[in-house]
Amino acid sequence: MRQNATSFGYTGMVIPGDGLYFIGEPGSGPGDGTLVISGGNDATAVSSGVPFEANRDYFLVAHFQRLPGNDLATLFVNPVPGTEPPAGGVTYSGNDLLGLPNFSFNVVHPQTITASFDELRVGATYAEVAPVVPEPATSVACLVALSILVLRRRAGVTARPR
């Protein structure tokens, strides 16, 4: 999630259903100016303590546990992909997710504010939603090394006497 400025309004993902969950910057209430998880009501927001800043990318991971009664939803902000599931996070309890949830991305701000959401991943494990992603420099280095090997092999094949 990323936004070009901060102002009055809210930005985040809404998971509607029998219960409602909101993940993002609420625009008011106790979590205003931070990334939160809530039941869609700013007064119920549980703040991650991570400030929501303009022109900064945030990697948000939510873990939902279906339980008898209210479900638990835990928010992790900027966890490291490709590692063990993170510990900690902030947890909200107060709603039930019944059936297959659907998702919507909401941005309620003046027209001069733009927000973007990169992708949504749903999975049964942390590894499915936060896999190892090679750094661009690592990918380029691997491609260069592979190219050199291919060129050397070709040079070696064409230089052999028949």
Q: Are residues 52 and 62 in the same domain?
A: yes
Residue 65 has pLDDT above 60, yes or no: yes
Residue 84 CA to residue 76 CA, distance in Å, equals 13
Q: Are residues 82 and 155 in the same domain?
A: no
Using DSSP's 3-state secondary structure scheme, residue 136 falls into helix
Q: Are residues 24 and 91 in the same domain?
A: yes
What is the per-residue pLDDT for 103?
78
Q: Are residues 101 and 48 in the same domain?
A: yes
For residue 159 the two structure tokens come to: 């230089």
Which structural domain, as residue segments, surrounds residue 97?
A: 2-131
Q: Are residues 151 and 106 in the same domain?
A: no
> In the chain, how many domains are there?
2
Angle at CA 130, nearest 5°, toward 42 and 86? Answer: 65
Q: Are residues 23 and 73 in the same domain?
A: yes
Q: Are residues 88 and 157 in the same domain?
A: no
Q: Between residues 81 and 71, which one has the greater pLDDT? A: 81
Using DSSP's 3-state secondary structure scheme, residue 15 falls into strand
Average pLDDT over residues 79-107: 80
pLDDT, one tens digit per residue, over 97-128 is 666 567 777 777 667 778 888 888 888 888 99
Q: What amino acid is encoded at 34 in this protein?
A: T
pLDDT, one tens digit per residue, over 9-64 is 788 888 876 668 888 888 788 888 899 998 877 788 899 999 989 899 999 998 88
Using DSSP's 3-state secondary structure scheme, residue 35 falls into strand
Residue 6 has pLDDT above 80, yes or no: no
Residue 161 has pLDDT above 50, yes or no: no
